[in-house]
Amino acid sequence: MKKILPIALIFLASIGAEARKQPKKAQFTHETVEIPAVTPQVIAVETAHSALILQVDEKGVVRTVHYGNRIADPGQFLRFDPRYYRDLDPGSLNYPAAGGRFVGNPALSVLYADGTRNTELHYTSHETSGDRTVLHLKDYVTAMEVDLVYECCPEADVIVARSVIRNGGSKAVTLTDFASSSLTVSARKYFLTHFHGTWAEEMQIDREPLGHGTKVLESRRGIQTSQCGNPSFFLSLDTAEWSETSGEVIAGALAWSGNWRISFEEPENGQMRIIGGINPYASAWPLKPGETFTTPDMIWTWSGSGAGQASRNLHRWARKRQINAGGRITPTLLNNWEGTYFDFNAQLLKGIIDDAAAMGLEMFVLDDGWFGNEFPRNDDRAGLGDWELNEKKLPEGIDHLASYAHAKGLKFGIWIEPEMVNPASNLARQHPDWIVQSPGREREQIRNQWTLDLSNPAVQDFVFGVFDRTMSLSPRIDYIKWDCNRSITSFGSPYLGTEQDRFFIGYIQGLYSVLDRVRAKYPDTIIQCCSSGGARVDYGQLRYFNEVWTSDNTDADSRIGIQYATSLIYPACIMGDHVSVVPNHQTGSITPLKFRFDLACTGRLGMELQPKTLTPAERAFADRCIKSYKGYRDLVFNGDLYRLASPYEGDDYALMYVSEDKSRAVVFVFNLAFRNRDKFAAEYKLQGLDPARRYKVTELNVDKSCWWGDGKAFTGEFLASGGFNPSLRKPHASAVFLLTTL
């Protein structure tokens, strides 16, 4: 026994020595690599009213020292010490990397070949050319390089930021955080507004004060970017309230259609660090020597006069620089989905086209159900993937319908869902390896369908082919509704082999490359982005699409909240808003036709019903609304939005659009509950008008006006001072007023 113990100890010690030997690879030299000194300086990225001011110290550390109003002499920030305690840098680093003194949530973290993870970025140079500033940063030990790119839209007070991350070393590395942009701001209070939701209840508002710790907004659903949250936010500074017209507000949005993450971290010194980018969840990204990774764009705006201005900034930028043909006036339309669902034939559709033309609508859109023969698409259980015309349902062909619509003066649109496949389809049988899946696991179905693996170039070709072949069904196709009715589960790609971490990002890169090809070939086709309603509303998609289907919920009561919240980030020109029947198919609610029309007219007006269900009086009313809408829709599409009352705060919703030259405006008011007389005085203070000009006010879509001032003229000053108080008392009373200068 006595002898055994020392032998066992020697054995155990040798195991310990073995274990200690294992991590030997890292070469710790104990020699410090010298960081070249740089001349301290201030770099100001400026728009008309805002400035992002970066300070570079003598060690080349770049800090955000200001994001707010434009400052006449930003050079004064050279003297500013952003550290609250000499030895600590609690986080004002402009693009914090995991390593060095930084202990917060990083924008960048890198796993190196030797197993180390420390990255410290230093300024090397920068250049500004026109509205574009690029800072070059480098880690002198690992040779990682980051270019921080800032592109300004001065007239909209928007700064678009992205990062280009390069492996300048000689060994492969893995990026485990790779944010687009980071910003640190300082205030006494932070009040966050963000969006949550679910199917048919997208874009619901959440508001909360932020304190110490980290608040994370994110999506891990792969492709339905925005069903449960939207990659965007508002941060009000120095207040615990939402205000449309006062206070400092920073708004941000990420232009990425996959998994995203925006975090808000208040470190110990009370600053707020915001980081936005692709969600690195299950997506560590490998970079070989010399390779780069370019992040998606993070869009920032600042307003010193409340949230309304921040929205207008984003809208103006988006119309001018981001949305495909932003601000283009797209046609009013009739979509047959809620009118027929899958149950139609050419005769029925031609009847709908006749009625749409008679009501003055400008396009007919044929929704789901026109394809599949062996697996006909007569419900949502079959046919997706087999994009050939259903010969039994529509033997006359698509061109027959499109020509009919054109002959009646209507444009023609058609629905596709090219990223998806039903198990009951030829495609699923022919290409099981094209389906998103994980080895040995059940391929989960959502809405009876699977997702095609767009990280695979063969699938990308197929999806482009679906669009292309659909367009070839008729030279008279003017509009495509591109749907996407599920998110990703049991994720994995047969194509990617052992590189599964590339899947989530690779899918979206594949989708964008398909959309690039689509837009190269079809630059003018109007394309609607639909995803079970509004599950893909983001500025990444909008580079390619003209509009979105905000929600499958067509109930006007529900849509008020959805459309109001969508308007915080996205302009009205992208919002497809349809009048449908009552009781509403999703909620069972009954609302007046006028209320439904007035609300649909706040975006791109459409109808989604069988017109034969309307009474002659309702038809006549529809004609009238469509006609009047055409007279002011340029304001909806391109005017500046002013929100006058929020449905989240009271029993009404009111908004107005004002032309850029302030010569015309349209005001919408919606009453959501019974409101008694005491609420009438000085109800709405109109905004955005020229105080000195006189505006004639005309109420539309009524025989008897609800305001004593109808038909009269008032100065902008008067209307902004509380003179506008239409008498709307009953629930679901609504009104539309056109203002024109004399």
Residues 6+ apart with CB under 8 A from 452: 385, 418, 419, 420, 421, 434, 435, 436, 459, 462, 463
Among 389, 515, 518, 530, binds ligand DGJ (CB under 6 A): 530
482 binds ligand DGJ (CB under 6 A): no
Judge whether 483 counts as a catalytic residue.
yes
Pairing of strands 411-416, 420-421: unpaired
Among 485, 591, 638, 646, binds ligand DGJ (CB under 6 A): 485
Burial bucket for residue 183 (CB in 10 Å: 0-12, 13-18, 19+) = buried
Give me the DSSP letters along 367-410: -S-SB-SSS--SSTTB-TT--SB-TTT-TT-HHHHHHHHHHTT-
Distance from C-alpha of 19 to C-alpha of 17, rounded to nearest angstrom: 5
344 binds ligand DGJ (CB under 6 A): no
As measured in angstroms, the least distance from the Cβ of 415 to ligand DGJ is 6
Residue whose token pair is 């232009």: 255
Distance from C-alpha of 338 to C-alpha of 359, rounded to nearest angstrom: 18
Quote the DSSP letter at residue 78.
G
Among 257, 301, 322, 532, binds ligand DGJ (CB under 6 A): 532
533 binds ligand DGJ (CB under 6 A): yes
Distance from C-alpha of 387 to C-alpha of 502, rounded to nearest angstrom: 29
As measured in angstroms, the least distance from the Cβ of 200 to ligand DGJ is 9
> Catalytic one among 386, 453, 552, 640?
552
As measured in angstroms, the least distance from the Cβ of 535 to ligand DGJ is 9
Among 57, 145, 483, 538, binds ligand DGJ (CB under 6 A): 483
Of 503-511, 526-534, 627-635, 714-722, the segment contacting ligand DGJ by CB under 6 A is 526-534
Q: What is the Cα 156 distance to its own chain's centre?
A: 18
Whether 665 and 700 have beta carbons less than 8 Å apart is answered as no
545 binds ligand DGJ (CB under 6 A): no
Among 147, 552, 577, 598, binds ligand DGJ (CB under 6 A): 552
Quote the DSSP letter at residue 688.
S
Encoded one letter per residue, x for contact with ligand DGJ by CB under 6 A and - for no contact, window 366-405 reads -xx-------------------------------------
Which regions of 505-629 does DSSP assign to beta strands (E)?
Answer: 526-529, 547-549, 575-579, 604-607
Of 236-244, 351-359, 401-409, 525-533, the segment contacting ligand DGJ by CB under 6 A is 525-533
Long-range contacts of residues 126-130, Cβ cutoff 8 Å, at least 24 apart: 126/43, 128/43
Encoded one letter per residue, x for contact with ligand DGJ by CB under 6 A and - for no contact, window 288-327 reads ----------------------------------------
> Catalytic one among 57, 147, 386, 483?
483
- Residue of this chain nearest to ligand DGJ (CB atom): 368
Helices 556-569 and 306-317, interaxial angle, to 10°? 80
Taking phi first (over 0 means left), then psi (-120 to 50 degrees means alpha), and beta for anything else, what does residue 93 get? Answer: beta
Judge whether 652 counts as a catalytic residue.
no
Nearer to ligand DGJ, 248 or 483 (CB): 483
Among 375, 549, 707, 724, binds ligand DGJ (CB under 6 A): 549
Among 191, 256, 371, 415, binds ligand DGJ (CB under 6 A): 415
Q: How many residues bind ligand DGJ (CB under 6 A)?
A: 11
As measured in angstroms, the least distance from the Cβ of 533 to ligand DGJ is 5
Nearer to ligand DGJ, 117 or 381 (CB): 381
Nearer to ligand DGJ, 390 or 485 (CB): 485
Rounded (5°) CA angle 697-699-702: 165
Give me the phi and psi of 303, to 5 degrees please. Answer: -130, 140
Nearer to ligand DGJ, 177 or 483 (CB): 483
242 binds ligand DGJ (CB under 6 A): no
Among 337, 464, 512, 714, binds ligand DGJ (CB under 6 A): 337
Residues 6+ apart with CB under 8 A from 541: 225, 257, 529, 548
Of 182-190, 319-327, 437-445, 527-535, the segment contacting ligand DGJ by CB under 6 A is 527-535
As measured in angstroms, the least distance from the Cβ of 582 to ligand DGJ is 18
Distance from C-alpha of 549 to C-alpha of 528, rounded to nearest angstrom: 7
Whether 448 and 442 have beta carbons less than 8 Å apart is answered as no
The pair of three-digit structure tokens given for residue 564, joined into one six-digit string: 């109001």
Q: Which residues bind ligand DGJ (CB under 6 A)?
A: 337, 367-368, 415, 483, 485, 530, 532-533, 549, 552
Q: Which residues are catalytic?
A: 483, 552
